[in-house]
C-alpha cells in the first residue's frame, strides 16, 4: 500500500472529539486546594472506569527540562490511590468526608509521581535504556520485553496553557472566545484513547479525545460525555464537603 493510502486510511479511522468545558476551569479547582493536573487525571480515571468498567495502564507525559537535552518521562497515573478513590466515589457506603480523604491521598500521590518524573526519578526511561542496552549487546530480557509491550490503553498529556506565542503576556481571561484548544494526538492502543487537555483560564478546560472507529470498545463521543460527568462528579464532591462542613 502506498504511503498516502496508509495516511488516508489512518485519517479516516481517527475518531476525534474536542470537548470545550466552559462551565468552570482551574479557578474552581484551586479553591479545592488540589493540583489542577491531579484533579483532571482523577476525573479521567473516573471517566474511563465508567466507560469500560475497569482500570488500565495510563500514561501521562512529564517534562524533564531540568536536564540538558531532557525531553519526557512517564507518570503512571493509574495508582492504587486513584483506584481506591474512584471506587469509593461510586459506592454510597462511603461518606463524603471519607471520599474527600481518599481524593486528597490520590492527588498527593499523583503530585509525588509527577515531581519524581521531572527530577529524573521515573522508571520508564530507565527501563527503555536497559532495553536498548540489551538490544545492543544481543541480550534477551523476557522481563523488559513483557513490560514494554504492555499497551498504554489511556494515553494523556497536558498542553501548555499559553498558546499565543506572539503575545506571551496576554490575559486569557479577556479573550475567552479566542482561546485556541491547541492540538492533540492519536490513541497509542488500537482499543484505547488519546487525551490531550489544557486549562487555559479559570473558566475553561479543553480536551482532545481520540480513538479508532475500527475499535468496537471505544467511542470518543461517549468518553467525552464520561469526562464531562466525571468533572461534575468531582465538583459535587467538593461542594458537598463544604455544605456538610
Cα-Cα-Cα-Cα dihedral of 150, 151, 154, 157, to 10°?
80
Map grid coordinates 509525588 to a residue.
112
- pLDDT given at position 9: 93
The residue count of the chain comes to 245
Of 127, 46, 36, nearest in space to 85 by CA: 46
**Segment 38-70, tens digit of pLDDT:** 999 999 999 999 999 999 999 999 999 888 888
Place of cell 468533572: 231
**Does the model's pTM come out above 0.75?**
yes
Query: In the chain, what are the domain boundaries?
Result: 16-119+151-244
Candidates 1.10.3720.10, 3.40.50.10540, 3.40.50.12780, 3.30.559.10; correct CATH number of 16-119+151-244?
A: 3.30.559.10
Q: Which residue has better confidence, 176 or 205?
A: 205
Helix or strand holding residue 26 (H, E) = helix 26-31
d(CA 50, CA 226): 7
> Contact at 8 Å (CB) between 151 and 192?
yes
Amino acid at each position: 500500500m502506498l504511503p498516502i493510502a496508509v495516511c488516508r486510511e489512518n485519517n479516516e479511522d481517527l475518531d476525534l472529539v474536542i470537548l470545550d468545558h466552559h462551565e468552570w476551569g482551574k479557578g474552581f479547582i484551586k479553591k479545592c486546594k488540589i493540583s489542577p493536573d491531579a484533579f483532571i487525571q482523577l476525573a479521567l480515571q473516573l471517566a474511563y472506569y465508567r466507560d469500560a468498567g475497569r482500570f488500565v495502564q495510563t500514561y501521562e507525559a512529564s517534562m524533564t527540562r531540568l536536564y540538558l537535552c531532557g525531553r519526557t518521562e512517564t507518570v503512571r497515573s493509574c495508582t492504587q490511590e486513584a483506584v481506591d478513590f474512584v471506587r469509593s466515589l461510586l459506592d454510597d457506603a462511603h461518606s463524603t468526608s471519607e471520599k474527600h480523604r481518599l481524593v486528597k491521598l490520590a492527588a498527593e500521590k499523583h503530585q509525588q509521581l509527577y515531581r519524581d518524573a521531572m527530577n529524573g526519578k521515573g522508571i520508564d526511561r530507565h527501563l527503555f535504556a536497559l532495553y536498548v542496552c540489551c538490544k545492543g549487546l544481543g541480550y534477551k530480557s523476557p522481563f523488559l520485553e513483557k513490560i514494554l509491550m504492555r499497551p498504554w490503553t489511556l494515553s494523556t498529556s497536558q498542553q501548555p496553557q499559553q498558546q499565543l506565542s506572539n503575545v506571551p503576556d496576554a490575559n486569557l481571561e479577556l479573550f475567552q472566545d479566542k482561546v485556541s484548544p491547541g492540538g492533540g494526538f492519536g490513541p497509542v492502543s488500537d482499543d484505547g484513547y488519546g487525551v490531550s487537555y489544557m486549562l487555559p483560564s479559570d473558566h475553561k478546560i479543553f480536551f482532545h479525545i481520540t480513538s479508532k472507529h475500527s475499535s468496537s470498545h471505544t467511542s470518543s463521543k461517549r468518553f467525552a460525555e464520561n469526562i464531562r460527568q466525571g468533572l461534575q462528579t468531582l465538583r459535587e464532591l467538593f461542594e458537598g464537603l463544604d455544605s456538610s462542613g
